[in-house]
């Protein structure tokens, strides 16, 4: 939470600062406070997380394994002689580059770009102040600045974010012990392979939906925190309300419009796992009032200290049911799905699309029916709660599939699936996988082998979707004469003409020059016709288009 508050401090101060220096100062303050804690309590602190690492070595191994797969995948998809950047034709990546610049430099401005919101001025800081995605940008800038704005720094941030997301989604998968049958190692291998090649994780990273990835992490942590607090009868403990307040603050720091979703997720999970037998009616009413008070306190906290974050246009249009959303916005209400004409994703209806509809709906009905039968038969209260949670996840996934048929694969529907349906489906499917494994052990060998063949075939198509993400090349930047940069005070970088409309490699070039040469005033022009907006053009670098057989794969080369 402290980092989240620091990340939105520019909204209150109306100016930007270096994220790394502020983080170092914040960490120094937090560590120094440990010396004021009594020695008998200090022994139980784990400031560096060493105890956590020791207790979760297996999970650390799986996370390292995923990072290795991501590194190999990124290397395979890298275009030779071009900068090592893994990105699809998505403007979100280049919007993040501008926000990274705001938190690492004070000498960089951008011109000629078209944005979904207006902001005062052309500086990187002005763009950051007008955007809600401050916390995710803050975290990325902590990696970008030490590596001097290189494309490698963005790839590392992608890998770190993906590794955390991988652990948050599939943590329980690796903690389950599959023993008692001859093919337990094969079952474990299939689960591991499925998790390592989860397409949604790669798609989020390559498409630069870092805020959605961060929200996925928050959703997963919220589900676990609520479940643990309810089971251990700590719902009405002060630390639980502090944790809930922290969750709300973190979400408000990178996308305030996600607040209704996180509150709904928290409330639904609490409703499922709430130990009603241990609390009387009066206590339950008090708990409800306390949670309501936390929500109001968090809203008042932001309204008083960070009103500009709540007053952003991107936030208003998401919560206004009568406002038409921008084409690049993640909606949070069903009304937007009906109000706006469906916008098809640029995806082909291949085999995977048809098998998803034909098989997934009956599968959801079958799984839901089996879970409900187990729920009625089971007498263990905790198991009944787990089964009810699994049923809720499967039910939501089935409802999503029904909407998927009516609205096709729309942009906003896919983003909703990634943000909320995907983690619930993962958590809901795990009990079914364990239950089906036990049931399959009682079936005939032919039946077991048939199911195993289907599982292997599905896993192969699962891997194929990851290999088929088609990341696009961006460009490269070569400096052979540094004396030119040292002899001028202003430099202007102009993007290429004949490249994909969503490729802005010149912004990364500007970020690298601004970080490495802080004495220069750097201006980045996305479109050559906007060059007249720059007042001083002492040294101008024009990008050269490197043609490809397909125009959308043209790259931009800069040299000095």
The structural domains of the chain, with segments of one domain joined by +, span 1-36, 105-129+476-559, 209-340+427-469
Q: Higher-confidence residue: 75 or 513?
A: 513
| pLDDT tens digits along 367-423 | 788 888 888 888 788 888 888 888 887 887 777 767 666 555 455 555 556 666 666
pTM: 0.82
If one compares 66 and 192, the residue with the highest pLDDT of the two is 66
Dist CA 227 CA 54 (whole Å): 24
State the residue for tokens 């490809």: 548
Taking alpha carbons only, the member of 529, 479, 475, 533 closest to residue 109 is: 533
Q: Summarize pLDDT for 93-138 with one digit per residue, the tens.
A: 888 888 999 999 988 988 876 665 556 667 888 888 888 888 889 9
* pLDDT value of residue 413: 57
Cα separation, 557 vs 549, whole angstroms: 17
The pLDDT, as a whole number, for residue 340 is 46
d(CA 442, CA 5): 54
Report in angstroms the alpha-carbon separations of 251 from 211, 298, 409, 502.
Answer: 10, 11, 27, 27
With 0-12 CB in 10 A as exposed, 13-18 as middle and 19+ as buried, what is 454? exposed
CA-closest candidate to residue 74, choices 509, 471, 555, 468? 471
Average pLDDT over residues 17-24: 89
Residue 78 CA: distances (Å) to CA of 83, 85, 516, 558: 8, 7, 25, 18
CA separation, residue 559 to residues 50, 506, 530 (Å): 46, 11, 21
**pLDDT at residue 334, rounded to an integer:** 47
Select the more confidently predicted residue: 551 or 555: 555
Query: What contacts 126, CB < 8 A, 6 or more positions away?
Result: 119, 120
Structure tokens at 16: 């930007």
Cα distance between residue 158 and residue 139, in whole Å: 11
């Amino acid at each position: 939470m402290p980092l989240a508050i620091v990340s939105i401090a520019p909204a209150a101060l109306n100016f930007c600062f270096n994220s790394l220096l502020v983080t170092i100062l914040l960490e120094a303050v937090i560590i120094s406070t440990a010396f004021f804690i009594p020695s008998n309590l200090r022994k139980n602190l784990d400031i560096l997380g060493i105890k956590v690492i020791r207790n979760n070595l297996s999970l650390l191994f799986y996370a390292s394994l995923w990072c290795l797969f991501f590194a190999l995948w990124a290397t395979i998809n890298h275009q030779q002689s071009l900068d090592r950047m893994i990105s699809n034709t998505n403007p979100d990546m280049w919007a993040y580059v501008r926000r990274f610049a705001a938190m690492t430099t004070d000498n960089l401005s951008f011109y000629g770009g078209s944005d979904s919101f207006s902001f005062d001025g052309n500086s990187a800081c002005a763009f950051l102040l007008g955007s809600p995605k401050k916390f995710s940008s803050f975290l990325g800038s902590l990696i970008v600045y030490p590596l001097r704005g290189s494309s490698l720094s963005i790839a590392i941030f992608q890998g770190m974010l993906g590794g955390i997301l991988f652990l948050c989604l599939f943590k329980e998968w690796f903690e389950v012990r599959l023993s008692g049958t001859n093919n337990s190692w094969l079952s474990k291998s299939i689960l591991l392979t499925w998790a390592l090649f989860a397409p949604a994780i790669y798609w989020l990273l390559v498409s630069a939906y870092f805020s959605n990835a961060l929200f996925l992490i928050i959703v997963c942590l919220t589900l676990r925190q609520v479940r643990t607090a309810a089971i251990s009868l700590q719902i009405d403990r002060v630390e639980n309300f502090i944790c809930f307040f922290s969750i709300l603050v973190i979400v408000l720091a990178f996308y305030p419009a996600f607040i209704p979703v996180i509150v709904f997720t928290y409330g639904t999970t609490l409703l499922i796992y709430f130990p009603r037998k241990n609390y009387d009616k009066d206590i339950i009413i008090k708990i409800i009032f306390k949670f309501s008070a936390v929500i109001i306190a968090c809203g008042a906290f932001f309204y008083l200290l960070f009103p500009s974050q709540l007053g952003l246009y991107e936030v208003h249009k998401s919560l206004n049911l009568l406002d038409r959303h921008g084409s690049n916005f993640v909606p949070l209400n069903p009304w937007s799905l009906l109000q706006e004409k469906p916008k098809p994703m640029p995806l082909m209806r291949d085999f995977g699309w048809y098998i998803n509809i034909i098989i997934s709906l009956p599968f959801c009905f079958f799984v839901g029916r089996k879970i409900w039968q187990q729920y009625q038969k089971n007498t263990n209260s905790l198991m009944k709660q787990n089964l009810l949670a699994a049923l809720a996840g499967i039910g939501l996934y089935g409802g999503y599939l029904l909407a998927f048929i009516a609205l096709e694969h729309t942009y906003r529907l896919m983003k909703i699936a990634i943000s909320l349906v995907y983690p619930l489906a993962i958590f809901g499917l795990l009990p079914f996988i364990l239950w089906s494994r036990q049931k399959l052990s009682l079936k005939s060998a032919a039946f077991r082998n048939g199911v195993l063949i289907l599982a292997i075939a599905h896993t192969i198509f699962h891997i194929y979707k990851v290999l088929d993400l088609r990341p696009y090349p961006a460009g490269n930047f070569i400096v052979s004469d540094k004396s030119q940069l040292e002899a001028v005070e202003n430099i202007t970088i102009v993007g290429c003409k004949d490249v994909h409309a969503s490729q802005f490699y010149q912004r990364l070039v500007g970020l690298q020059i601004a970080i490495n040469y802080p004495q220069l005033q750097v201006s980045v022009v996305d479109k050559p016709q906007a060059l007249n907006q720059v007042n001083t053009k002492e040294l101008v670098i024009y990008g050269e288009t490197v043609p490809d057989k397909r125009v959308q794969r043209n790259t931009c080369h800069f040299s000095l």
